[in-house]
Amino acid sequence: MPSLPDKEGFAGMFAGVSNGTLLVAGGANFPDKRPWEGGKKIWYDSVFALESAERGVEERRSVARALAYGVSVTHNNGIVCVGGSDIERHYADTVRLEWKQGKLVTTDFPRCRNRSPTPPERCR
């Protein structure tokens, strides 16, 4: 399997498989110096797609913001990415990533603020 095009790697990425393609998105790292050397953490909005080992890794930039440390799950040929954080705060947003015919398609889910046991109709 080809490596991601980054010498450090990424922590806290979203990952899953969409229509047979491995997608990994977001993440964070310390690209210049280690944290104990005063390095600054950087968050990323990159999405990498690996359709096959022969084609290699393709990079796409299309997620709404640079995030890491959320949760992702593969569902119905897409990847549902929930939450995450950046340098400023934690987020409760949800986005679906899908690889369709060589292109990345993103779909934002509606924001739900209802804390009752039964979600409102628009969030089901």
Q: Give me the DSSP letters along 57-99.
A: EEEEE-SSS--BS-EEEEETTEEEEEEEE-SS-EEEEEEEEEE
Residue 96, pLDDT > 60, answer yes
Contact 37, 104 (CB under 8 A): no
The pTM of this model reads 0.82
Q: What percent of the chain has pLDDT over 70?
A: 85
Mean confidence (pLDDT) of the chain: 85
Between 44 and 116, the higher pLDDT residue = 44
Per-residue confidence (pLDDT) for residue 51, from 0 to 100: 82
Ordered by where they begin, the domains of the chain are 14-123 (2.120.10.80)
Per-residue confidence (pLDDT) for residue 120, from 0 to 100: 52
Hey, what are 33's tokens? 């110096």
Residue 25, pLDDT > 90, answer yes
Residue 118, pLDDT > 60, answer no
Residue 33, pLDDT > 60, answer yes
Per-residue confidence (pLDDT) for residue 115, from 0 to 100: 58
Residue 121, pLDDT > 60, answer no
Between 78 and 124, the higher pLDDT residue = 78
